[in-house]
Structures are given as structure tokens and as C-alpha cells.
Structure 1
Amino acid sequence: MEKRSFTFEEIKLKMARYCAYQDRCHKEVEQKMKEFLLIPEAKDEILLFLIRENYLNEERFVRSYIRGKFNIKKWGRNKIKSHLKGKGITEKLILKCFDEIDYEDYYNTIKALYEKYYTKQTSGSSFDKKQKTIRYLIGKGYEYDAVLDSISEL
């Protein structure tokens, strides 16, 4: 397949659409721009345009990422944080945005996941089932202390 070349303005418009479709981080946008043969100055100019026009907003991206991964995938803070770090997001920004997760919701989610996973297990002693369930929750990114605090009331 032949690669089509685009003008600078076409690429700028494509990148604006790419960011408008869903929130993106800088790393994703830079990755996408590698598809186009651009000189570094042109890449910088497009990035500046996207930031200036609010197509690209790292904090907005982090906040929507945290909400989505917690509410939809039921991930814990540790897993969310490690995935965001993989996207080149700073720890300071991640910690600032964790207020997107309500404290009560977090603990209620741990309890609900615990009960669901625990009751699904058919064999083993209650101690084994409890340990296996705790390992499952830690694998989903929940902090060990948060898990213990949540299940102490069960």
C-alpha cells in the first residue's frame, strides 16, 4: 500500500480530531504523529496548537482515565498508577487526580469484589478462599491495607 503524504494543515486537523475523539496523553499523541513524516519543529508546533486549543490536556486525560478504569474495570489505585506511569504521566499529577475516586466508593467496591470472588470459589477452606481472594484484589491494584480494612467489617 502506498503511503499518502499530507500537508501540515491536514496533519494538524487529523491530530485535532484524534484528540477530540477521546482524551489523550502527550505520549499517545507523539506516538500517533510518528505515522507522519514530520520534522521536530512541525511536531512541536502541532503539540503547541493542540494544547493551546485545549484538544490536549494532560490533567483532563488523567482524570477521565482514573474514572474509567475505576468505575468500569474496577481497578485499584496501584494498577491505575502503574498504567499511567507507563503513559509518561508524572506521579505528582497522578496523586493530584486521585480525588476522582470517592473514598466510600473505593471501599465499597473492594467489599463487593471480595464478596463476589469469595463466593465463586467452590473448594478449599475458608482461610484458603480468603487468601486467594485477597491476592485477587491485590492483582486488581488494590492496596493490601485497604483490602484488609474493607474486609475486616465482613
Structure 2
Amino acid sequence: MKTDKKPNIYLDKKQALAKAENFCAYQERSQNEVRYKLVEWGMRGDELEEILTELILNNFLNEERFAKAYTSGKLRINHWGRQKIKQGLKLKGVPDRILNKALYSVDEEEYLEILKKLLAKKEKVNTEKNPQKRKYKLVSYLQGRGFERELILECLDEE
């Protein structure tokens, strides 16, 4: 019987630190992601905390930098709204203070531009004839993408 689960790799502290540095250097990571990986590699207790401290001191791990990179990537590439980005950051274990700072670092004009592009794109494929149902479908779609209802309605009223 074959399973897809990989066996846990148990490393000593020095190996785990080197591997964690590579893991963090590849792309920005949250502390929770790194903590999870370290546990997967057999690190526990004080050793785990010492490695996390070392990564923070050597600037491999920075929650604020991670939150800003995550926010800009999800906005520009995935076209997510603030609410969906906020939810994603909470799932990654980012503290509210840092989370809010990252969300408000988003350029408002760029944010509105992305919202308007998504709205125009969705309007082209929306075949609903009833204006109320049409509007409801557009609002539902954009809310699902994480955009704020008030902002969506403002953009719809502009057209």
C-alpha cells in the first residue's frame, strides 16, 4: 500500500538552520510557515525558538516584509480585494497590527483600477437581462474576490 505522505526528515539544529535559511531566501515566508517546517524537520521547544530568533536577527524572516509582499502579489497577480487578502494573512498567522499596515500600504488608485478592470471584464460575459439580477451577480462576484461592497457599488454607480 502506497501513501503520498512523505516521512518526516529529522535534522540537527545546524542543518535545520541552514535549510530554514534556504527556505526563507527562496521567497518571503511567515513565521507560522517556517515554524511548521521546523516542526516537520524534527525541531521542538528551545531549539525551534532559537532557530526562529536566528532567522529574524539575520533578516531571513520578517513578518512586515512578508505581509507587504503577500498583499502586493495577491492584489497585482491574483486580483484579490482587501478582505480576501486580510483573510489570507490571518490564515498565515500575521498579527493584526502588521496586517493592517500592509493593507493600507496599497495604492488606492491602483486598487480602484483593478476593481474597475474586473468589473468591466465580468460585465462583458454577464448574459443576465434583468438589471437587478445583473447587478447582483456583479456585486457577488466582486465580493467573492474580496472587494468591499460599498466600493463595488460606487464603481457600478459611476457607469
TM-score (norm 1): 0.93
Q: Which residue of 1 aligns with 2:43?
A: 38
1:62–1:3 CA distance, 2 compared to 1 (3 A): closer
Asked if 1 retains the 8 angstrom alpha-carbon contact of 2:82 and 2:148, the reply is yes
Out of 76, 84, 101, which is 1:79 matched to?
84
Q: Is the 8 A contact 1:26 1:56 kept in 2?
A: yes
Shift of 1:124: 2.9
How far off is 1:143 after superposition?
0.4
1:138-149 alignment runs, 5 A limit: 138-149=143-154
CA separation in 1, counterparts of 2:71 and 2:38?
25
Question: What is the match of residue 56 of structure 1?
Answer: 61
CA offsets 1:45-74 (integer angstroms, 9 cap, x no match):
100110000000000000000000000000
Q: Structure 1 residues 62-71 or 105-114, which shifts more? A: 105-114
Give the distance between the partners of 2:10 and 2:141, measured in 1 at CA.
Answer: 49
**Does the C-alpha gap of structure 1 residues 33 and 3 become closer, same or farther in structure 2, counting only changes over 3 Å?**
closer
- Aligned partner of residue 100 in structure 1, secondary structure: coil
Which secondary structure does the structure 1 equivalent of 2:40 belong to?
Answer: coil
Q: Which amino acid aligns with 1:131?
A: Y
| 1:18 equivalent in structure 2 | 23
Give the RMSD, CA atoms, in angstroms.
Answer: 1.6
1:95-123, Cα deviation, whole Å (9 max, x unpaired):
11123321111112111111111110223
Counterpart selection for 1:133 from 138, 143, 146: 138
3-state SS of the aligned residue for 1:37? coil
User: How far apart are residue 39 of structure 1 and its match?
Assistant: 3.2
Deviation at 1:6, TM superposition (A): 2.7
Matched residues in 2 for 1:115 and 1:26: separation? 38
1:109 is aligned to: 114
Contact 1:118 1:130 in 2 (8 A): no
Report the number of matched residues.
154
Deviation at 1:4, TM superposition (A): 5.3
